[in-house]
Amino acid sequence: MPKALAYAIDSPTGTFSRTTIERREPGPTEVLFDISFAGICHSDIHTARGEWGRDISYPLVPGHEIAGIVREVGSAVTGFKVGDRVGVGCFVDSCGECEACQRGEEQFCDGAGGTIWTYNSTGRDGLPTAGGYSTAITVEQDYLCRIPEAIDLAQSAPLLCAGITMYSPLKRWGAGPGKRVAIVGMGGLGHMGVQIAAAMGAEVSVISQTLSKETDGRKFGAKEYYALSEPGTLRKLRKSFDLIVSTISGEQDLNGLIDCLVTGGALVDVGLPEHPVALSLGGLVGQRRILAGSEIGGIAETQEMLDFCAEHGLAAQIEVIGGDDINAAYDRVVRSDVRYRFVIDTATFTN
């Protein structure tokens, strides 16, 4: 079996250290590719540190924003060849037969075994899945995406989660010309949301805690930038937006944000709030507004997002780090001390 260098954590309070893991020999319809870059998503941190109350299989190798180059393909692979630039996102398998899978939403698979996540799940070989903080991975061809040449490979990695997390709700709720869209939060997700919504033709505003990233927000395509730290901000924005996408995982004033929607507008949350939130239904019912949630997208939509980003010159803004920097990077993400995504260069694993 092919071996890969990796960084793993062995407990919720542990630290990452270098190790070696095994990957499958590619079966007839599988692809083995060398990982070049892996993004750090905040959900990696929540999982690795046991903050979501889920069962974690330690030692854990996280990472679901993965970009690299094909090394080997199975005998029946038709969509990829050696040397192709490819990416893997949050999941690596599903049943392929249920209603969700048939409509291209494999992330909602409810067939036998459900969606197989890129890490901390159980693969078709019965073994725990291991993610992108490693130098290679073997994946079924139907769960790979092709990374366009127009996108820098390092900058492409975060698109496999952050990019599709924002593209999917913006597309579904009709961001485009004539629509006023607000992105709440200007972190790893939010900075992609601003770029994508602007490229779709929407009039984009940012609602952030402070004005510290206003220059960046406007560079990414925002026309207006508002700070929640300034008294009366949400009150001033009542009935201003057709669509609001909130990326916040901490406390947020949902009722205040709902009041910022026009009649019939939609507030979509993608931020996986860490605690219960207070909600008054009057602001929804009285104005026929929509409150919804959204996560990633299926494989076809993820490929569509990558092609869209290539066409419009969009990419994640990143800070490239080495494997030995992962522990410090986790702490910096928690402090919101990154603009805007850490990406691990796996070439450093051999140094």
Domains of the chain: 3-161+297-307+317-350 (3.90.180.10), 162-293 (3.40.50.720)
With H, G, I as helix, E, B as strand and everything else as coil, classify residue 299: helix
| Token pair belonging to 183 | 């992105």
Q: Say yes or no to pLDDT of 100 above 70.
A: yes
| Token pair belonging to 27 | 């079966």
If one counts every other C-beta atom within 10 angstroms of the C-beta of residue 127, the result is: 11
Q: What is the reported pTM? A: 0.95
Q: Per-residue pLDDT tens for 287-324?
A: 999 999 999 999 999 999 999 999 999 999 999 999 99
Residue type present at position 223: K
Report the percent of the chain where pLDDT is more than 70: 99
Mean pLDDT of 203-216: 96
Do residues 192 and 158 lie in contact, with contact meaning Cβ atoms separated by under 8 Å?
A: yes
H runs (alpha helix) in the chain: 42-48, 99-102, 153-156, 162-172, 190-199, 214-220, 233-236, 254-258, 282-285, 299-312, 326-334
Question: Any idea what DSSP says for residue 26?
Answer: P
Residue type present at position 338: V
- 64 φ, ψ (degrees, to nearest 5): -130, 25
146 DSSP β-pair partners: 86
Residue of higher predicted confidence among 249 and 239: 239
H/E/C letters for each residue in 267-288? EEECCCCCCCCCCCCHHHHCCC
What pLDDT does 351 receive?
63
Q: Per-residue pLDDT tens for 127-174?
A: 899 999 999 999 999 999 999 999 999 999 999 999 999 999 999 999
Convert 173-186 to b/e letters by CB count within 10 Å (16 or more is b). bebeeebbbbbbbb
Q: State the Cα–Cα distance between residues 96 and 346, nearest whole angstrom.
A: 31
Q: Say yes or no to pLDDT of 274 above 80.
A: no
